[in-house]
Structure 1
């Protein structure tokens, strides 16, 4: 009798100790010291489902048969027998525990994903998770991964959804419960009413609708060709631009032409070092690659520094017009334009940050490849963020303000000119005035390239694929636009030499020459 009472008591204690499956999520969220997702996966296998629920499956299945189920009418799964076999415990077990449920996506706190992933799903908002629900599928007590026969997951959607990507939740290395959505091991098939995910592991799954960006291999190849061809053309046209500027400088020495000359030289070094870094990396000479990485970094810094000098020179020309004298002005600008990048590159070179950079590239079909370039050995270095992100952003911001000043002054001059011509009435603007307006627009457009503003389009590469194409085309062909600017200055210099100057105030604005 005592033995029976003891057995009943033990059974009662084990039953009360097993928590209700519907309460496991809340208990794990309250725990501290371990990620809640890891706690949930552990506790969900030992809980008890006290009541039936359309959003929860908790049953034992025979591993020799395939398992399938449906949740909430919007999610379904199909697990092969080979996956169930991999998840069972002892060899004598004929059944394995199958758990499937859905969780609100707001519980998954996002952290920045590691760099080097070609498909970027950078911090998507929670609204991008289809239906706001994450499907959890777990079998047995052992992790299941690298399955030869993928499991199938179905996520129903409406016709308003344009695009989607199957992802799973991967914990970050911070041990704080945060993580990111990854496409690794999952392939996506979309029908008229459903996303079908084929994944080679069991985990937390979701579909991100209209994801931030997904670049396939074809687009990657196209972008590479555009970059290489554009850089080659930029090298050719920057050389021609240098010849034009040297000719202009000899004819009529002006500080503006000297600054343009320095910027064009930096741009030539940038495109030349970029092509060398891309193609020389295949030869495997480590010390040469480190040198090319230093040269590429130095050229990039010099280009942005000289665009900043262009903005500063334009500020002196348009804002502080009178009573300006700077002793050895060009020498001081050269010390800043070439000296600052040289100092930074030398310090980085001594620190040994340069080498072969090998980002892991993954296309939309999860095919991995390695693209190599002579650059910094890791993009996660603080010097990489400061010199290639923070500094360019500061230069672009300042030069954008400077371009705004140019537009404001041009608008003021033209408005006053139009008012004087019409006498305050609504007379038709003459063709000559329209020509001046078009000329002003061309001037502003040319200055935007001189001031490096197309680099600001880098922000669009995180929004859409067309943004990547626009950014790649404009910046790889920047040497051509600089050539057009030098050609315009050459034609204007010839025109000024052969005719008298008209409208002195406007000409002073348009020439961007800070004369001695």
Structure 2
């Protein structure tokens, strides 16, 4: 693209943004939704759009959906699009769709079968817009067509119609803006992209003249109807801004209400309703010694949703919205107030990360987890071989340790390959892999719980026989399968899960796990978090009880024995998983890395524990009986005879 043309398009894009405010309050935007009934097989989308303001027709038949009309200012498009390219299921006979028209942006968007498609992008300046679309002439009913046609969620016809037609009326930009913001202040400033003076007809602005005695200035956005003045956006211009400005003393603050073009375009994030632009005419201001303070008042943001102050430099990204947190510091003043401290001038807002929250240092955490899982798988295999050789000792704890090693090995193996399977196999494979990963996780937690219970049995139930090994196998392997079968029957629980890195939300890490849906979230809390809470609390209690029993023993006075006993039992009892509940506050990153290391390398730590106990037994010249288990801890440290 020629540089001059690129700059002109950049100026057009910025100008369109400046014109655009939340126009839905006055019904200037248009959306039409319905269900397309068609035959199974190959489907297509027919688009035929031309400039003007007369009529738009949405029609459907047994194999094609058509959008025809003249409502755009500059956009022209004539194309047949096979819907197989969008990944739609051609076996279904009904497909929901919605058509959205934003006249201020000259933008037409279609959502069909859950897939988004932009039919018309804004391409040039225009003086008038096609808006206030009204329902046109009736069309005949048919076997194939559009069911339950709705405009702004109001049902028009429940019957199957072949087409819906809407007539438009033309309005110029100034009339629309006067309708949206009656009496709003307007200021003309020079745009660095367009190379001339532009009027901001839809956004209130304030101009400040930084005179010689300038020591700072506070600006409050004009109050919107129905919104108290104390909830308006505020800007504090520091004294350092006067020192940084070399050519001009005038600062312009423009306050925008958010629209779709200010959005990132990435799933799971959104920009707050308020966007502020701060400029000094003909100058680029950066690296201020004292930051500009921008206070955003907004609706309550739940604690689970992270937020950060961001800026968008249109000089670097004129045609693509790219919000970055470079040069801005975020201060959360409460659930409804966020203050941004930024050292440069451009557009500013607050980016809210919906569920799932972005993960900091995702690349490093992924590398640690992959390495830990690989080492743990090999360690569990070695531990299984080791325990199988020890089964001849007929120690009661061996089958339990063996069950834990098997479940942990399978868990780490699936987790190691989950990213590869998600990218290669997609949703179909991830349904099975996600269910398998969930099962092995619950099975591992269950076996850790069995370890806790069995240790309690050995320590406190000296003369009572322990349950048979097949009972433990039923509990450890069969019981976790029950919730998995139930959740699989409910459906829409397992599949591809996106994990967003905080530094680049446009490049998510894919894995097979529970989906990011309300049902899956409930399943996660009722299964994983509930079982984990029970496991960690019982494991900590059991550690305390064991400590009370062994603290007076002679063996306990040996530091290495004491450390190995508590550390080893912590691995068996799964108490390291309790770090999951501490992932908040200033030490969140430290806790996250520590939890990642301990839990991904848990198989290795377990193998190390058993081999160290065996080595210590040989060093002490002890007997072979009970050397590798919870029973050995009891034999060496409690000096009690295990009951067979």
Pick the TM interval, shorter chain. 0.5 to 0.7
Q: TM-score, normalised by structure 2?
A: 0.50
After superposition, the Cα gap between the structure-2 partners of 1:362 and 1:506, relative to the gap in structure 1 and judged at 3 Å, is closer
Identify the residue that residue 565 of structure 2 maps to in structure 1.
443
| Match among 403, 411, 428 for residue 262 of structure 1 | 403
In the aligned structure 2, how far is the partner of 1:296 from the partner of 1:275? 11
Matched ranges for 1:319-468 at <5 A:
319-321=460-462, 323-326=463-466, 328-359=467-498, 361-364=500-503, 367-378=505-516, 380=518, 381=520, 382-411=522-551, 413-414=552-553, 434=557, 436-463=558-585, 464-468=588-592
Is residue 238 of structure 1 aligned with residue 367 of structure 2? no
SS of the residue 1:373 aligns to: strand
Is structure 2 residue 187 aligned with structure 1 residue 62? yes
For the 8 Å contact 2:309–2:328, the answer to whether it is kept is no
1:490 Cα shift? 3.2
Q: Which has the higher strand share?
A: 2
Q: 2:447 aligned to 302, 306, 312, which one?
A: 306
How much does 1:389 deviate?
1.6
What is the aligned counterpart of 2:594 among 462, 465, 470?
470
Residue 146 (str. 1) matches residue 265 (str. 2):
no
- In the alignment, the residues of structure 2 paired with residue 167 and residue 514 of structure 1 have an alpha-carbon distance, to the nearest angstrom, of 67
Partner secondary structure for residue 449 of structure 1: helix
Contact 1:354 1:376 in 2 (8 A): yes
Change in Cα spacing, 1:155 to 1:406, as seen in structure 2 (3 Å) is farther
Relative to structure 1, the CA distance from residue 173 to residue 477 in structure 2 (aligned partners, 3 Å threshold; closer, same or farther) is: closer
Q: 1:300-353 CA deviation, whole Å, 9 max, x = no partner?
A: 0000011011110111122233x3125x43222221111221111111222223
Contact 2:294 2:341 in 1 (8 A): no
Note the residue ranges of structure 1 that are not aligned, 5 or more in a row.
1-43, 48-58, 67-78, 90-94, 104-132, 208-212, 418-431
Question: Gaps spanning 5+ residues in structure 2: where?
Answer: 1-179, 208-218, 223-231, 236-252, 265-274, 280-284, 311-322, 330-339
Change (3 A) 1:102 1:496: farther
Q: Per the alignment, do residues 64 and 197 of structure 1 end up closer, same or farther by CA in structure 2, a change over 3 Å counting?
A: closer
Q: In 2, Cα distance between the equivalents of 1:356 and 1:97? A: 48
CA distance in 1, matches of 2:465, 2:616: 26
Q: 1:461 to 1:167 in 2, by over 3 A?
A: farther
Matched, 1:483 2:598: no
- C-alpha change, 1:198 and 1:443, in structure 2 (3 Å) is farther
Task: Please state how far the C-alpha of 1:480 moved relative to its aligned partner.
Answer: 0.8
Q: Are 2:308 and 2:325, in contact at CA under 8 Å, matched by a contact in 1? A: no
Whether the aligned pair in 2 keeps the contact of 1:165 and 1:188 (CA below 8 Å) is no
Contact map agreement 1:168 1:182 (CA 8 A) in 2:
no
Give the deviation of 1:145 after TM superposition: 5.3
Q: The residue matched to 1:363 in structure 2 has which SS?
A: coil
CA contact (8 A) 1:227 1:476 kept: yes
1:505 shift after superposition: 10
Structure with more relative contact order (C-alpha pairs < 8 Å, separation 6 or more): 1
Instruction: Indicate conservation of the 8 Å contact 1:255/1:513, yes or no.
Output: no
- Contact (CA 8 Å) 1:166, 1:186: kept in 2 or not? no
Secondary structure of the residue aligned to 1:315 is: helix
Aligned residues: 379
Change in Cα spacing, 1:390 to 1:60, as seen in structure 2 (3 Å) is same
CA contact (8 A) 1:237 1:483 kept: yes
1:288 Cα deviation after fit: 2.4
Could you say which residue in structure 1 is the equivalent of 2:635? 507
TM-score, with structure 1 as normaliser: 0.61
User: Which of 420, 423, 428 is residue 279 of structure 1 equivalent to?
Assistant: 420
Find the residue that maps to 1:60 and give its secondary structure. coil
SS of equivalent residue, structure 2 residue 375: helix
User: 2:212 aligned with 1:88, yes or no?
Assistant: no
- In structure 1, the residue matched to 2:242 is none
The answer for the alignment partner of 1:119 in structure 2 is: none
Any conservation in 2 of the 1:443–1:510 contact (CA below 8 Å)? no
In structure 1, how many angstroms separate the alpha carbons of the residues matched to 2:257 and 2:426? Answer: 49
Residue 325 of structure 2 aligns to a residue whose secondary structure is strand
Contact residue 446 and residue 476 of structure 2 kept, 8 A:
yes
1:226 Cα deviation from its structure 2 partner? 1.0
* Cα separation, partners in 2 of 1:206 and 1:98, compared to 1, 3 Å: farther
Is the CA contact 2:293–2:341 (under 8 Å) kept in the aligned structure 1? no
Are residues 282 and 510 of structure 1, via their aligned partners in 2, closer, same or farther at CA, if it must alter by over 3 Å? farther
